[in-house]
Amino acid sequence: MSIRFDRSKFHFGTYILQPYARTERHIRELAECGIDVIVCLNAAADGDPVADKAVLDYMQKYRVGGILTGVLPAWWGGDGDNAGKMAESNPLEKYDEGAKKFIDHPAIWGVDVGDEPSALDFPHYGKVIAHVNRLFPNQFAYLNLYPNYASVAKNTGEETVNQLGTPTYYDHIEEYIKNVPTDYVCYDFYMYSCNPRMAMDNLQIVADACRKTGRSMWIVLQVNSVREEEFMSENQLRFQAYSAMAYGAESIIWACWTGGWWYNNVLDTNGNKTEQYEKLKKVNAELHHIGPAYMKYRRVSTHFIGYPAGHPDVQDVMDKNPPVASLSTGVFMNVESDAPLLAGQMISRSNNTDTALFLCAADDSGDKRPGTVHVTFALQEGYRAFVTTGTDTLGLLPDENGVYHLAIPSCGGVLVEAL
Instruction: Tell me the per-residue pLDDT of 28-40, one tens digit each, with 9 for 90 and over.
Output: 999 999 999 999 8
Residues 283-300: pLDDT tens digits?
999 999 999 999 999 999
Q: Is the pLDDT of residue 152 over 50?
A: no
Say what the pLDDT of residue 351 is.
Answer: 83
Who's near 150: CB < 8 A, 6+ residues apart? 116, 160, 163, 164, 169
Other CB atoms within 10 A of residue 124 CB:
22
Q: Is the pLDDT of residue 45 over 50?
A: no
Q: Whole-angstrom Cα distance, residue 95 to residue 188?
A: 25
Q: Whole-angstrom Cα distance, residue 131 to residue 49?
A: 20
DSSP-H helix ranges across 149-259: 157-164, 169-179, 198-213, 234-245
Q: Quick one: average pLDDT of 142-147?
A: 97
Q: Is the pLDDT of residue 143 over 80?
A: yes
Q: Given pLDDT bands bounded at 50, 70 and 90, which one contains residue 310?
A: confident
Taking alpha carbons only, the member of 5, 8, 15 closest to residue 252 is: 15
Taking alpha carbons only, the member of 418, 66, 415 closest to residue 248 is: 415
Q: Quick one: average pLDDT of 79-99?
A: 94
Residues 207-228: pLDDT tens digits?
999 999 999 999 999 999 999 9
The amino acid sitting at 58 is: Y
Three-state DSSP at 376 gives: strand
Q: Is the pLDDT of residue 98 over 60?
A: yes
Q: Quick one: average pLDDT of 125-153?
A: 91
Most confident range, picked from 9-23, 43-57, 69-83, 153-167:
9-23
Q: Is the pLDDT of residue 417 over 80?
A: yes
Q: Is the pLDDT of residue 51 over 80?
A: no
Q: Is the pLDDT of residue 47 over 60?
A: no
Work out the mean pLDDT of the chain and round it to a whole number.
93
Q: Is the pLDDT of residue 153 over 70?
A: no
Say what the pLDDT of residue 194 is.
Answer: 84
Taking alpha carbons only, the member of 91, 114, 109 closest to residue 13 is: 109
The CA-CA-CA angle for residues 217, 259, 65, to 5°, reads 45
Q: Whole-angstrom Cα distance, residue 84 to residue 77?
A: 9
Rounded percentage of the chain residues whose pLDDT exceeds 90: 83
Say what the pLDDT of residue 320 is.
Answer: 82
Three-state DSSP at 196 gives: coil
Answer yes or no: are the C-beta atoms of 239 and 246 closer than 8 Å.
no
- Rg of the chain taking only CA atoms, in angstroms: 21
Say what the pLDDT of residue 158 is.
Answer: 61
Q: Quick one: average pLDDT of 251-267?
A: 97
Q: Is the pLDDT of residue 154 over 70?
A: no
Say what the pLDDT of residue 160 is.
Answer: 59
Q: Is the pLDDT of residue 144 over 80?
A: yes
Q: Given pLDDT bands bounded at 50, 70 and 90, which one contains residue 44?
A: low
Q: Quick one: average pLDDT of 243-256?
A: 98
Q: Whole-angstrom Cα distance, residue 36 to residue 109?
A: 11
Q: Quick one: average pLDDT of 143-172?
A: 79
Q: Is the pLDDT of residue 236 over 90?
A: yes
- The whole-model pTM stands at 0.94
Rounded percentage of the chain residues whose pLDDT exceeds 70: 95
Say what the pLDDT of residue 161 is.
Answer: 60
Answer yes or no: are the C-beta atoms of 281 and 248 closer than 8 Å.
no
Say what the pLDDT of residue 81 is.
Answer: 87
Taking alpha carbons only, the member of 320, 53, 352 closest to residue 200 is: 320
Q: Whole-angstrom Cα distance, residue 239 to residue 244?
A: 8
